[in-house]
Structure 1
């Protein structure tokens, strides 16, 4: 079963998805935090506004009752002898005319009084707190603390003022302050969804409240009220330990002489609906953005995989010896998406990364193609030169064989001369003829030796040129193998990057596991996040699989690159072997050339000797002994030359065999380059 190639597509998708989700989550958390702060600020403003509204109403009432008390106490009835009957009429009339006056009473120091309401027989006004406070603050308006009034059977606050008449008598004018207007304002006051505003006396009894159930109750023992009583600030926020920020208590005491304080507070669930709605909206936005990110990530990964697969195909073909350039017109596309993706791998020198990679790949194909074509051309040239050299070596061998035969003939003639020298002068004419024949043969041999020397020189020059061209080709093949090895090193760097991606995937899996645990501990509120965490773990696993697939692809590329390096190395080794053979051929040609020069020198000596013989043929009879000696020397020289010519012949046979082997090697090289490497334009 064929094993599937691994891919980093899933890993890249997971990374892109995480990178897209992080700013979205941060943005949503920031929006949640900002909105919560705005809601808290709105709630704080609502508390302050409610307190200010009630406080303004209370202050208006305080000013009204203070003015009513001051105006009434300034009447002439209270400046002369106190007449309780007249005073009662006056306060009754005033109470009817002014709504601020209620249960008005005037009491003297002897316990007598005039009141607009009924009292018990045992009632003693001098024992009341409003009376004592007014006497203590003579000449000033006094506000009593909240107390229970048996007449109205309710908790009330009294305002009173002590007056002194011209007779020196002291009396106290007082009436009950009703905060009906404040209660009316509170009834229509909007204090959020769960908020409550209250007008509270200094002793902690609620006078008026948005929540009517609190009216008449005491909050003196609450922590918030205790802190308000302890603080020296006129107004501010009070935070009770163990409560949330929304449960802060805002208070304002206004003028402390009024004896009341206004405060407002929200319950802990005041912002719950808004925050729940915000969380739902954030989750909806997160899901929408997640879906959008998934779609964009899927499209991006498909584009990357398409690009990588196309480039891998061309590299694989190059590994097989088919060097095909990336041509936009030959890229296949089944649909609109693939046509658009193909545009990303159009070779362009200054385009995007895949386009530049395709351009560099095509440049590499051009370089490799030029190199292979150059090697093919030089191989053909080497083959042609090898054939020419082989023919020249055969001709040289034939000429050397003729020279050997000629030298053998010279040796025989020289032997005959030695025999005939003993016969005397009668055979001089035959000697002369023989010398002429020998002279002609020597000239012919000299000419052939010169031709052989020229041919050897030409062979050496051709072989040297072949050797230089072959070493240049070997250097180019070495550069090709070095480039392939560098490509293997780059692939190793990709393997390191894949290792880093695997580690990131592992860490992402751990983070997703931790997130799942936290979501499970959060109960119902964490179910949505648990689903996201599970999807992240799934993406992390898919990333791991994709990384394995890419690793397999890279291994395949490495294997193909190694095959190409092995083929190049084999060709390089064969080239080095051929270089050695060419070197041997050059050395053999140089040896033949050297031997040919020796033969030419010997022939020239023979030619000189024959000329000497012709010069002294008239004195042969007188110098017969000298001729005999010279003949013996010529015979010995001829034998030596004959031996040298046999050695030259053997050397030429070896040289011819080497040249034939070189021709076969060049033919095989040409066939291998043509068969294994193809350049597809």
Structure 2
């Protein structure tokens, strides 16, 4: 039952009502208890004030009597002249006072000469000395005031009495003490009979703690009984309230102090008696609360039924919706929150029908789009793989290019070494040229030995022919290298131009790089110019080499014919001398060009090394592009996988939508 909404509503309302009733009961009981406690204590304090005033008036009356009589001529005359007549007159006045005030048991006068006069007359021991009595001593110590002794038990009657005493004067000098014994039984009875209500009773304690009035402890000295609440009322102010536990009961004591005697008068109440009215109020609250709880239970059940009936109908429709049936509807005529909930449920059903229909259409469209995307993804994936393979080939080509450039750099270095070798043989060529000239000059004089020299010349020409062939081949190699250097120079110039453009785009940050690019471009232009000059020089050398080869061929022919025509040797020898001089000039020209090539080879080597470094960077960049392409392929594969999952989800969504009945 308590798991249903109706049960929860009933329990919630009952619990709330119970808490309200309990709270009201507790608060009311607590306030009533406090109010009753306060009223009882306040009434007790008022009663104690009344008793205090009553006792004060009671004692003050006797004090006034004593003052008045002590000031009369009866006492004054006797004090001045102690004659028998004056004594009789004074005692007659004593009797008259005793007749008017029945609580006065004795009235008497004690003089400084230890004489004692009283009414009624009493038998006293012969050695009785009134000046040693407490009442006499206290009165003599406070002349002009009425003093009060402690309460004591009268020896003749056994009743409690108190003595009032006042010093009397004669001729302005204290001559004795006038005193009276007052029976306080009536006063005690008055205190004991004081009605306090709520089972309370009055107590009266003298200034020494002796109980003058008490239900069970009259005559006992309560200060000797080690009762903290008694000690407190003598230590604290003249009036107040004490709460304590005595004989197993919680009690409240409201007390006051009699100024004249120092007596303590109090009203005592048992808390259980004080709370009787509060307990009756509590019983009434419990009965009313129980009736209210019963009525609230009935009302709550009816209210819960009224609230839950539409909710149960709404729950039935919600259950149908949970099963996928969206064809139902609900109508609640109430305008409260449940009616609003039903209207919202109706709106929700309409919106769900529209939404699920829209979702079904969208699901089909998504499915078609996903299939198209899957196909496109496959094509893109294939294209990316082909691109990746192409980039890998490009990367391999870049790496191979870098390797080839390294080889080119090595070959360029070899060329530089060969140029240095050629230059190192310059002295030998010059020496050989000198020898040829010397031989030519002495050739005329040594015609007789021409045959021997002819053989030597033939051998030299043969070697020179071979050298010239090798020289021609090297010239061709130099030409090829020159072409390569020219291409590299052009590429370097183009790269420098591109670098200048990029530096210009970079603005202030690219200024330093622009200067370097300009220097590289200038160096490339100088390299191109030098290469062109070398090319022209090599072309000239090739032309001259052809001439030399032709001349060498002719020389060879001449050398062959020398054995046949010695007569022609002189002429041929002259031509040889001329040709040798030309060859020497050509050799000197070649050496000059070789020196220029030697001077430019360092720049060419630096350019080749720079291009090689750029090629290596290009290869590294190509490898990075290849890696990025791999990542792209992986991403496309992930997209394809996601497209497959989306397609599966779309199919699942379609299956779920089919479960709804629209």
TM (norm. structure 2) is: 0.49
> Which entry has the higher C-alpha Rg, 1 or 2?
2
Task: Determine which structure has greater relative contact order: mean sequence separation of CA pairs < 8 Å that are 6+ residues apart, divided by chain length.
Answer: 1
Q: TM-score, normalised by structure 1?
A: 0.48
